[in-house]
Structure 1
Amino acid sequence: MKKRMKQIMAVVLGMSMAAGLCACGGSGGSGKKEEGAKADSDKYEKVVFAYQTFNNVPSEEGLAEVQEAVNKITREKIGVEVELKPIAYADYNNQISLSLQAGEQIDLFESLFNFPDCVAADMAMDITELAPEFAPEALELVGEEWMNACTADGKIYGIPVYKPLALTPMITYRKDIAEELGIDMSQVNSVQDLDAVFKKVQEGRPDITPLAPIAPGDTGLNRLYSTNVDYLGDDYTAPKGVLLGDDTKVVNLFESQEFMDVCKMARDWYNKGYIMKDAATTTSMSLELLSSGNYFCAIASYSYPEEDTAASLQTQWGYPTGARILKEAYIDTSTVNGVTFMVSTNCEVPEAALKFLNLTYSDKEIVNLLIFGIEGRDYVVKEEDIVNYPEGEDASTVPYTAQLSCGTLGNYFIQYQMEGNNLDSLKWEEEQNKEAASSPVMGFVFDTAPVSTEYTAIANVLSQYLPGLFCGNVEPETEIPKLNKALESAGLGNVIAEKQKQLDAWLAAQ
């Protein structure tokens, strides 16, 4: 597989050099004539681009002007018209799967921590031969090591987002409340330090709840195991056989002491009233909850420095915001391919789809239209590459924004930064990509096809038990044994055995 990737990257570099030579040769090249001829014919290939958003899904009217602005560029540059299809994060994976099963046109979509499932379910097209020709800049930018994480059986099935990759678990909190109550958040360095903080919040501000879930059924505690976890291609919210630390033996996370400790902490916080009582069943996201003013903090993972993370969320919440790192970053294969753009197997215009995808990595105007919308209407420029919402507006009131999805679209490093962010932080973020601890089996991609039936059954079990355990609604000592018994019946042992078999073969081939 590595030899194959080196061949591909060599082709990419050669094509990029050739493109550079053409660009230096003047404006009369044949490539421009061909693009012009296509533009004059008013016949454009249509690409449906489905992307997730953590912000509000815009109305048709709010989206239309952004879409037309994108198409003014794509018609001229690549002879393509794009239909933008933003989908709420909580609904994204399910809606993409159902839409593709129904035969709807979706040409480009992103895997959200389900790359192996997308490949096994034949949702994604093999783009090994097409990508070097039609997305050369994206491949060159991402590089060979990251692309290895997006292959299966030596074939490329997607291109990962180019962004600060090392996800760092943090608490993001109401800075004004911490100051009001005299809480020194600089002393918070781990999840164990939060109990005392939550006690002070509860005593000083009984009108608010200390911890809001980051998403339905997700309090963020599953980012804070005492040992680094490689999920071996699974969504971290529903793992089915993992590696703990540097050990290459595949194990059941839910039988580990690490999992028991996290669930006990959740239960303790729930009993003390620190966690939102209906966190396991709510349909609300943290943005809505923290904006309400009824909560103190949330726990999630971010790939930006504390200051920038806080500044970004402050524009969303509408309150002074701070952030503290709770655990060091860790990179595994799922971190790389967790957000990977794929060409669907339904796609009838894969070349056009890859041309547009390539622009999201190379064209600054395109990617900023997708993230921030229309200048003057949805955002204003404060200084070079620094933006904010228009006066009197915020993320919930502008016609269009996908600002919270900045790390899930194309090339993050050519996107505008929100006011309050430090542009020098981009250097920190790139260093984190290089220096963060990484999995001993980086690049291993699990093929779920041999155990697809078990995967479905296990997912149903986990969706039944995990929200209650992670949100503290149930007693871990009684519920975790029930969970493991149900997982055994669903075939988790078969999954672990298959993962070990494939991993051992992969390790032997390295």
Structure 2
Amino acid sequence: MNSTKRKISLATALCLMTLTLAACGGAKDNNAAAANEANAANEAANTAATNSSDSNTDAAAPSEEPAKLEPVDLTYYFVNTPQQDLTTVEAELNKLVQPKINATIHLKLVDWGAYDEKMKLVNASGEPYDLAFTSTWTNNFYQGVSNGVFAPLDDLIAKYAPDTKAGVPDMFWNTVKVKGQTYGVPNFQQATAGYGYLIQKAIADKYSLDWKSVKSLSDLTPFLEKIKAGEKTLVPYGYSKQKDAFLLATPMFNMEALGDAKTPGSIYLNDSSLKVINQFESPEFKTFVYMMRDWYTKGYLRKDAATLKDNQADQKAGKNAIELGQIDLDTPTLEAAGLAPSGRMSNYNPDVPSYDYQFVKPLLTTDKAAATITAISANSPNKERAMMFINLLNTDPQIYNLISWGVEGKHYKKISDNRIETIKEGGYQLLSPWEFGNMTQSFFFEGDSKGAEVNGVGTQLWADLNRNATPSNALGFVFDFTPVKTEKANCDAVIDELYYALSTGSVDPDKYLPTFIDKLKKAGADKIVAEKQKQLDAWKAVQ
């Protein structure tokens, strides 16, 4: 997820996705199919653009008049940093939502590091709620479908959210289908993912570091050595569980996760045979954990890295010299377009500009297309109204930008029609517009390069990004966890017990890596890998 996604018009954005779909077709030598996809996407773009232009009037309205709807309460769980002014935003949100669908929204914001466990408890207890943020990286969508915690949505979408359906390309909808049924509404955002790192500009300049020379994670080692020796107040490598290299950025290791990166069973990017392996038994993982052990013993990471759920305090204080990141548009790309990027570190601290560098080129994968989803609880007593609210998030820019950015004048100030500047101490600064719906509605903010909204510059950059992305050999494959849900739960427990100690270098891999692999096998890793291979082979046979 990239918190600096650019705003583009709905019609243009869908046309950009057409480029991506056409590229995928070309990769499979199926130009006729690609042309059909392109025509379908263009039709969707035109429909969605027309509907979106009316989103503040009748287009986003439910099929029943609000006055005829009984009042209901909707509980909405989502993840972010706790916000002091959440109740203010909730109150303003309800002023907009109640006249449209006669529903009162109760926002349940859970901290990044606690969200996954919180939702496991909520779902296991059967606690009634209505909507939740889900993904491939927290509150796992596919596991939730397997466990029966999310409601099937096809009929609800057809009746209450046709505009939302039209505004999102089929590629996204295909990733939220399990056994032919739709269980979530994808938040339309940039689907490609490139990876690299961020380095404080002042540090790179001070030590004359050749930051554009990095080709792999290990190339950062000499940088970290210099930073450790010369910068006593900085953390050389800013790690948190949310930015774990092997889980967040599996393409750095020439792999793609199938389902989610924590579950055994990945494929190599360059393997057209689609052979499924246990990535934790791979030579790449072994090399990685030994490198991290070296980094840890030399003091490049915080001593408590293995238990650090997020590092936003360090980010806001400007303490991290280097961080890993999903980087779609890096500093050289933006500079070549005539823009003056301040870097993503400046999103957290405007006094800490960074160089952002991508050394793994953009990929188009199923897990990224399904990286941000809104689902409706199977236990929700108000599924119809919940879908009406999802439709508002996806088609009403006023509602979308309120929940994304807060209240104008209190949480941000307008710079132009489509650019804002957030108020740092305003009490509501999520910086995550990708969480809530169709991102084509979003404002630009100070984290976006200046001028990106002028003359279509930002739009062209995203067009190029989509067009040049490499499609995964398994694009569109969705793993059904149901046959191995017990084994997955067992493996998740092993991951939580030992993985992060290994991936931060906090323990000796000579001792703990064999133990980790042995425990995964006893938990059922081999059965999961075999089931993934079975399903992947069946999927491949009909492509």
Scaled to the shorter chain, the TM-score interval is: 0.7 to 0.9
User: C-alpha distance in 1, partners of 2:153/2:62?
Assistant: 25
Matched, 1:482 2:515: yes
Matched, 1:103 2:87: no
User: C-alpha distance in 2, partners of 1:28/1:287?
Assistant: 41
Aligned residues between the structures: 485
Q: 1:315 aligns with which of 347, 356, 361?
A: 347
Decide whether aligned partners of structure 1 residues 420 and 119 sit closer, same or farther in structure 2, where only a CA change above 3 A counts: closer
After TM superposition, the structure 1 = structure 2 runs for residues 230-309 of structure 1, keeping only pairs within 5 Å, are: 230-234=256-260, 236=261, 238-245=262-269, 246=271, 247-283=273-309, 285-306=310-331
Report the equivalent of 1:35: 65
Q: TM-score, normalised by structure 1?
A: 0.86
CA contact (8 A) 1:169 1:302 kept: yes
Once the two structures are superposed, residues 80-113 of structure 1 have per-residue CA deviations (whole angstroms, 9 ceiling, x without a partner) of: 3222222212221221232233333321112231
What letter is aligned with 2:75?
Answer: V
What letter is aligned with 1:462?
Answer: I
Q: TM-score, normalised by structure 2?
A: 0.81
Is the deviation greater in 162-171 or in 298-307? 298-307
Residue 475 of structure 1 and its aligned partner are, at CA, apart by 3.0
User: C-alpha distance in 2, partners of 1:105/1:470?
Assistant: 36
Residue 276 of structure 1 and its aligned partner are, at CA, apart by 1.9
CA contact (8 A) 1:468 1:474 kept: yes
Q: Secondary structure at the match of 1:327?
A: strand
User: C-alpha distance in 2, partners of 1:206/1:28?
Assistant: 59
Once the two structures are superposed, residues 116-164 of structure 1 have per-residue CA deviations (whole angstroms, 9 ceiling, x without a partner) of: 1010010111111221221112221212121111101110111111111
Report the equivalent of 2:384: 351
What letter is aligned with 2:264?
Answer: K
Matched, 1:399 2:427: yes
CA contact (8 A) 1:173 1:298 kept: yes
Q: 1:413 aligns with which of 436, 440, 457?
A: 440
What letter is aligned with 2:371?
Answer: G
Report the equivalent of 1:134: 160
Q: 2:76 aligns with which of 41, 49, 60?
A: 49
What letter is aligned with 2:132?
Answer: F
CA contact (8 A) 1:221 1:299 kept: no
User: C-alpha distance in 1, partners of 2:368/2:62?
Assistant: 38
CA contact (8 A) 1:174 1:319 kept: no
Q: 1:79 aligns with which of 99, 102, 110?
A: 102
Decide whether aligned partners of structure 1 residues 420 and 32 sit closer, same or farther in structure 2, where only a CA change above 3 A counts: closer
Residue 253 of structure 1 and its aligned partner are, at CA, apart by 0.5
User: C-alpha distance in 2, partners of 1:272/1:449?
Assistant: 43
Q: Secondary structure at the match of 2:300?
A: coil
User: C-alpha distance in 1, partners of 2:95/2:231?
Assistant: 52
User: C-alpha distance in 2, partners of 1:18/1:331?
Assistant: 23
What letter is aligned with 1:410?
Answer: G
Once the two structures are superposed, residues 33-90 of structure 1 have per-residue CA deviations (whole angstroms, 9 ceiling, x without a partner) of: 9636348xxx42322221111xx3124xx12221122122222223332222222122
Q: Secondary structure at the match of 1:444?
A: coil
Q: Secondary structure at the match of 1:329?
A: strand
User: C-alpha distance in 1, partners of 2:459/2:301?
Assistant: 34
CA contact (8 A) 1:181 1:204 kept: no
User: C-alpha distance in 2, partners of 1:460/1:468?
Assistant: 14
After TM superposition, the structure 1 = structure 2 runs for residues 320-335 of structure 1, keeping only pairs within 5 Å, are: 320-322=352-354, 323-335=356-368
What letter is aligned with 2:166?
Answer: E
CA contact (8 A) 1:221 1:470 kept: no
Residue 188 of structure 1 and its aligned partner are, at CA, apart by 3.4
Q: Secondary structure at the match of 2:198?
A: strand
Decide whether aligned partners of structure 1 residues 98 and 434 sit closer, same or farther in structure 2, where only a CA change above 3 A counts: farther
User: C-alpha distance in 2, partners of 1:366/1:111?
Assistant: 20
After TM superposition, the structure 1 = structure 2 runs for residues 213-224 of structure 1, keeping only pairs within 5 Å, are: 213-215=239-241, 218=244, 223=249
Residue 483 of structure 1 and its aligned partner are, at CA, apart by 1.6
Is the deviation greater in 78-87 or in 312-321? 312-321
Decide whether aligned partners of structure 1 residues 182 and 33 sit closer, same or farther in structure 2, where only a CA change above 3 A counts: closer
User: C-alpha distance in 2, partners of 1:119/1:213?
Assistant: 31
Decide whether aligned partners of structure 1 residues 309 and 303 sit closer, same or farther in structure 2, where only a CA change above 3 A counts: farther
Once the two structures are superposed, residues 325-368 of structure 1 have per-residue CA deviations (whole angstroms, 9 ceiling, x without a partner) of: 13122232111122211111011211211111112221111111
Decide whether aligned partners of structure 1 residues 249 and 115 sit closer, same or farther in structure 2, where only a CA change above 3 A counts: same
CA contact (8 A) 1:241 1:496 kept: yes
Q: 2:169 aligns with which of 131, 140, 143?
A: 143
Decide whether aligned partners of structure 1 residues 37 and 420 sit closer, same or farther in structure 2, where only a CA change above 3 A counts: closer
Q: Secondary structure at the match of 1:133?
A: helix
Runs of 5+ in structure 2 lacking a partner?
1-35, 335-339
What letter is aligned with 2:496?
Answer: S
Matched, 1:200 2:226: yes
What letter is aligned with 2:263?
Answer: P
Report the equivalent of 1:3: none
Work out the percentage of aligned pairs sharing the same amino acid. 27
Runs of 5+ in structure 1 lacking a partner?
1-5
Decide whether aligned partners of structure 1 residues 298 and 230 sit closer, same or farther in structure 2, where only a CA change above 3 A counts: same
CA contact (8 A) 1:213 1:298 kept: yes
Decide whether aligned partners of structure 1 residues 298 and 354 sit closer, same or farther in structure 2, where only a CA change above 3 A counts: same
Decide whether aligned partners of structure 1 residues 401 and 105 sit closer, same or farther in structure 2, where only a CA change above 3 A counts: farther
What letter is aligned with 1:254?
Answer: F
User: C-alpha distance in 1, partners of 2:128/2:206?
Assistant: 52
Decide whether aligned partners of structure 1 residues 95 and 479 sit closer, same or farther in structure 2, where only a CA change above 3 A counts: same
Report the equivalent of 1:152: 178
CA contact (8 A) 2:214 2:220 kept: yes
Decide whether aligned partners of structure 1 residues 347 and 310 sit closer, same or farther in structure 2, where only a CA change above 3 A counts: farther
Q: Secondary structure at the match of 1:130?
A: helix
User: C-alpha distance in 2, partners of 1:182/1:33?
Assistant: 62
Report the equivalent of 1:428: 461
Matched, 1:455 2:482: no
Residue 494 of structure 1 and its aligned partner are, at CA, apart by 1.0
CA contact (8 A) 2:200 2:322 kept: yes
User: C-alpha distance in 1, partners of 2:58/2:171?
Assistant: 37
User: C-alpha distance in 2, partners of 1:18/1:207?
Assistant: 51
Q: Secondary structure at the match of 1:168?
A: strand
Residue 497 of structure 1 and its aligned partner are, at CA, apart by 1.3
Decide whether aligned partners of structure 1 residues 101 and 309 sit closer, same or farther in structure 2, where only a CA change above 3 A counts: farther
Q: Secondary structure at the match of 2:389?
A: helix
What letter is aligned with 2:176?
Answer: C
What letter is aligned with 1:109?
Answer: A
Decide whether aligned partners of structure 1 residues 28 and 448 sit closer, same or farther in structure 2, where only a CA change above 3 A counts: closer
